[in-house]
Amino acid sequence: MEGIDHLADERNKAEFDVEDMKIVWAGSRHAFEVSDRIARLVASDPVFEKSNRARLNRKELFKSTLRKCAHAFKRIIELRLNEEEAGRLRHFIDQPAYVDLHWGMFVPAIKGQGTEEQQKKWLSLANKMQIIGCYAQTELGHGSNVQGLETTATFDPKTDEFVIHTPTQTASKWWPGGLGKVSTHAVVYARLITNGKDYGIHGFIVQLRSLEDHSPLPNITVGDIGTKMGNGAYNSMDNGFLMFDHVRIPRDQMLMRLSKVTREGKYVPSDVPKQLVYGTMVYVRQAIVADASIALSRAVCIATRYSAVRRQFGAHNGGIETQVIDYKTQQNRLFPLLASAYAFRFVGEWLKWLYTDVTERLAASDFATLPEAHACTAGLKSLTTTATADAIEECRKLCGGHGYLWCSGLPELFAVYVPACTYEGDNVVLQLQVARFLMKTVAQLGSGKVPVGTTAYMGRAAHLLQCRSGVQKAEDWLNPDVVLEAFEARALRMAVTCAKNLSKFENQEQGFQELLADLVEAAIAHCQLIVVSKFIAKLEQDIGGKGVKKQLNNLCYIYALYLLHKHLGDFLSTNCITPKQASLANDQLRSLYTQVRPNAVALVDAFNYTDHYLNSVLGRYDGNVYPKLFEEALKDPLNDSVVPDGYQEYLRPVLKQQLRTARL
């Protein structure tokens, strides 16, 4: 069985060049070559072994994480890896760790909010990891409502210091990754108070632990918040709590790029526009969307390969049973998730471009497109992370009972991924931000102000409010203009309906609260339109490789028509399409599933994931599932002995009816 490719027949069916599709998925040949080389480097290093994570207790898991991080840093230095390669190395190690927050939040916060002088001082230490930092914003009592944070930073002009204090239990910092056991420093967000006036939330660099023996500094209480969901999973991360008891820091440890406090205690906003913080926000959220496509593609890769290996029912006269992937019910659940992985990949690519565009505009003090960019990235973060978390769980169910085993890779992937629905903005709260922006845009339609970016379609409101779909046969649903118009009309009509309903309320804010559920639905419709439009835009590019564009075309329309089917009530209730046209869309969807079927395994091979990275017996490249399931089972500590511990004390007395019972 070893060395045999049990999925070879599936791979031979492919109607496109998998190697070319790998380049499209990676974004460029350079990106593919870097990822491929680093993934194999990690997979071949025994220190990065991870198949035993579920069997480690919390302390062992955390220590193994520290070891992997130290070894990774050593390899980065030894191999002289550049920033891109080092980032890929940390990614493929695939174990949540303090370095994620150090490089992903602490360093960008100083770059974005620190003065040149502050950056020079702190980044030189952080880049060499002579200090390790985290991002201490969320508190026990406040997460999404950042303006409600309670930690205070009160300026003392006598000593030229800020006094950082936790006034209540709910003001305790709670959740920051890397805080619990590792970070020596944190960017702490607190209410700046000077001369008795509260100036709102600002960032401060605070040392938490000694650089000699790592013990917490005086008047600082810090620790880990405890075990989280799942085996292994996010428990490798030391999410922490933190309390300050009048801790003093020098005035120059306030991040002062956007505002500062003088020696005399005067609060002075700087000339640097406050909108610069949007740049960091767009960057972080585009990274989260990119991560969504990766997590979703991993789950889909496992479910697709296993669906091709697994056979059930359908045998006639002693013949072989039917592959599960050949059942239309399986395709109807699986292929839209495969299409979603590609859709999220391409909208993530577009968001990288948007970040560059926003950065250039900020440098030129052009803030015109910022509100739209902010709303767009908030909405896409929410849409993609919610869909991905749901899809990972659906992939687990698509793998039947075996999907529930830790070694399937899916339970841990779900437990690791699902916090993305909450961090960097609760997903419902984010969609409400999008909804507020849409309501403003609709309100301005008659004023002559032209909607920009992803809301540009609203500028054609007169047409979109009265148009009817011209679909007459199933193939018409493969016309990009037809699909886009249906999604644009749905999004606009839902937004306009919300705006009309809002106008019936004397108190707009009260109206907003009453209509929250409808507003979220309108925001989702807008965000789904963005994803569909960016997938279609991707297909308008020059994409080489035998059969590659045809497969992407099929996936694009599977994604769009699946959404149309899933949200059919929206399309029908807004009169964008007729029931007959909806039925034709379903006919076309079934036809597309048939076209994707012979290419399904090759389409997930294009993700180019090593078996080490997938960490799934069900998703193995060679499809050799059943012998490997037994191997994994026999590694479990319960199988160290044939007779279980506790047999003599607890099991034998039950079997032999020798339980000693008390006489009452």
CATH 2.70.98.10 holds for 100-272: no
What's the predicted TM-score (pTM) here?
0.95
Residue numbers belonging to the annotated binding site for FAD: 138, 177
- Of 82, 128, 122, 86, the closest CA to residue 106 belongs to 122
* pLDDT average, residue stretch 652-661: 90
DSSP H/E element including 164: strand 161-165
- The backbone torsions φ and ψ at residue 225, rounded to the nearest 5 degrees and listed phi first, read -80, -5
- Of 374, 492, 386, the closest CA to residue 434 belongs to 374
- The backbone torsions φ and ψ at residue 510, rounded to the nearest 5 degrees and listed phi first, read -65, -40
Radius of gyration of the chain (CA): 27
> Predicted confidence band at 371 (pLDDT cuts at 50, 70, 90)?
confident
For residue 38, how many other CB atoms are within 10 A of its CB? 22
Task: Name the least confident of 121-130, 236-245, 264-273, 334-343.
Answer: 264-273
Provide the residue type at 363 as one letter.
A
Residue numbers belonging to the annotated binding site: 138, 177
Which residues lie across from 268 on neighbouring strands? 260
Please report how many Cα atoms fall inside a 13 Å half-sphere around the Cα of residue 641, on the Cβ side: 5
pLDDT at 479: 98
* pLDDT average, residue stretch 85-97: 96
Provide the residue type at 74 as one letter.
K
For residue 88, CA distances in Å to 34, 38, 40, 83, 289 come to: 8, 7, 11, 9, 17
For residue 154, CA distances in Å to 142, 218, 266, 469 come to: 20, 18, 12, 61
- Of 96, 135, 2, the closest CA to residue 420 belongs to 96
pLDDT at 325: 97
* pLDDT average, residue stretch 591-598: 98
DSSP 226: -
Tens of pLDDT, residues 500-532: 999 999 998 999 999 999 999 999 999 999 999
* pLDDT average, residue stretch 90-115: 95
For residue 587, CA distances in Å to 216, 490, 558, 584, 592 come to: 64, 21, 11, 5, 9
Q: Contact, 385 vs 288, CB < 8 A? A: yes
Tens of pLDDT, residues 433-481: 999 999 999 999 988 888 989 999 999 999 999 999 999 999 999 999 9
Q: Which residues are catalytic?
A: 424
- The backbone torsions φ and ψ at residue 541, rounded to the nearest 5 degrees and listed phi first, read -80, 165
**CA trace torsion 538, 542, 546, 552 (10° rounding):** 10
Q: Contact, 282 vs 354, CB < 8 A? A: yes
pLDDT at 510: 93
SS3 per residue for 254-284: ECCCCEEECCCCCEEECCCCCCHHHHHHHHH
* pLDDT average, residue stretch 542-567: 97
For residue 524, how many other CB atoms are within 10 A of its CB? 23
List strand residue ranges (DSSP E) for 166-219, in order.
173-174, 185-194, 197-207
**How many Å apart are CA 437 and CA 529, to the nearest integer?**
16
**How many Å apart are CA 26 and CA 304, to the nearest integer?**
20
Q: What angle do CA 388, 582, 454 make, to 5 degrees?
A: 50
pLDDT at 271: 80
For residue 445, CA distances in Å to 242, 442, 505, 541 come to: 48, 5, 20, 32
Q: What is the DSSP secondary-structure string of 551-610?
A: HHHHHHHHHHHHHHHHTHHHHHHTTSS-HHHHHHHHHHHHHHHHHHGGGHHHHHHTT---
For residue 364, CA distances in Å to 223, 258, 311, 360, 371 come to: 44, 17, 60, 6, 16
pLDDT at 380: 98
Task: Name the least confident of 156-160, 344-348, 371-375.
Answer: 371-375
* pLDDT average, residue stretch 384-397: 98
3-state class (DSSP) for residue 503: helix
The first and second tokens of residue 472, run together, are: 């007459």
**pLDDT value at 1 more than 70:** no
Q: Is 329 exposed, middle or buried (0-12, 13-18, 19+ CB in 10 A)?
A: exposed
The first and second tokens of residue 308, run together, are: 């091709």
**pLDDT value at 366 more than 60:** yes
Tens of pLDDT, residues 555-582: 999 999 999 999 999 999 999 999 999 9
For residue 22, CA distances in Å to 16, 85, 277, 287 come to: 11, 18, 35, 20
Per-domain residue ranges for the chain? Answer: 100-272
The top-scoring range by mean pLDDT among 183-187, 367-371, 425-429 is 183-187
**pLDDT value at 2 more than 70:** no
pLDDT at 58: 96
